[in-house]
Amino acid sequence: MGEDNEILSVKNIYKVFGSRPNEAMEMLDSGKNKDDVFRETGQVVGVFDASFSVKKGEIFVTMGLSGSGKSTMVRLFNRLIEPTSGSIYLNGNEIAALFDTNDDGKADMTGCNPGWGCEVTIDHHLEAYDLTDTVTQNRGSYFALMADTITRYEQGEPILYFTWVPQWITAELVPGEDVVWLEVPHTDLPDGDNDVNTSYQGKNLGFAVDTVKAVLNKDFAEENPAARQLLAQVEISPDAESAQNLMMQQGENSQADIRRHAQQWVDDNRAQFDEWLSQARAAAQ
């Protein structure tokens, strides 16, 4: 099989972790090994001059001892981390260039409105994960940018974008079916509080996970124990909220529509809802 059959091509990939990668690369070019580099500079060589290709129809397995660089190599494939040197091609194109919409050679990511907290976090991530040379955050009216992004997806073009849940975008472009969540190699947030939970559905997405809870007036809560108990139990999945948001986005946004959506959710989850009601009534006795 010739090069035309290559799906993935990795050519002379190096990955050096640390603040002095250029110095480490000079040492490697001069014949030093990774132990020499670590001893003299403290830089860690995660991948050393890797080259291979995966052809159409092949099953390719990356194997090695713990710490040998398997996970690092996979993260280099999907650009969760950038190579220090070398090239990675997908179907003959450099991976970052697949998402390039303005021909500047960098991947264009649909980002956030200027001033939104996510804009700051994305900029921080691009710096923290060494992505500034290959990824650009496109800023502007988020939902206008996403309308263009969805159109490009429908036309069969590669897309790269930021989103969150619950929200109608994830019901339009369903993770796991239409698109995939991209993990970060480690948590790194602008405020430095990296002990917070940033994992969603088993993947580290790099953003702090929020918990949405009902808040009641204190006097009302004390006078209405049934309502307090009911709202303390109610738990609606992000997928269900996103699906309802999409119906509103598609025009079902009147008060009557929203009541019908709520009733449909209750009907679909009757056993759970009745259990909540039972416990709420018990609290009032």
**pLDDT tens readout for residues 101-147:** 888 888 899 999 999 999 999 999 999 988 888 899 999 999 999 99
Q: Are 74 and 41 in contact (CB under 8 A)?
A: no
Give the pair of three-digit tokens for residue 130: 């060494």
> Do 86 and 48 share a structural domain?
yes
**Of 67, 95, 123, the domain-final residue:** 95
Query: Cα angle at 262 between 259 and 268, to 5 degrees?
Result: 140
**Of 158, 186, 210, the domain-final residue:** 210
Query: Cα angle at 159 between 138 and 11, to 5 degrees?
Result: 100
| Distance between CA atoms of residues 138 and 152, nearest Å | 15
User: 97 φ, ψ to 5°?
Assistant: -65, -20
| Distance between CA atoms of residues 86 and 71, nearest Å | 17
Give the pair of three-digit tokens for residue 77: 């494939």
Per-residue model confidence as pLDDT tens digits over 166-209: 999 999 999 999 999 988 889 999 999 999 999 998 899 999 99
**Of 163, 189, 210, the domain-final residue:** 210
3-state secondary structure of 236: coil
187: containing domain: 99-210
Q: Which pLDDT score, from 0 to 100, does residue 2 have?
A: 46
| Distance between CA atoms of residues 152 and 158, nearest Å | 7
Per-residue model confidence as pLDDT tens digits over 47-88: 998 898 888 888 888 888 888 888 888 888 766 677 888 888
In DSSP terms, 88 is beta-bridged to: 10
| pTM attached to this predicted model | 0.69
Q: Which pLDDT score, from 0 to 100, does residue 4 have?
A: 62
* Over residues 244-254, mean pLDDT: 96
| Distance between CA atoms of residues 3 and 5, nearest Å | 5
Q: How many domains does the chain have?
A: 3
> Do 18 and 6 share a structural domain?
yes
Q: Which pLDDT score, from 0 to 100, does residue 178 have?
A: 95
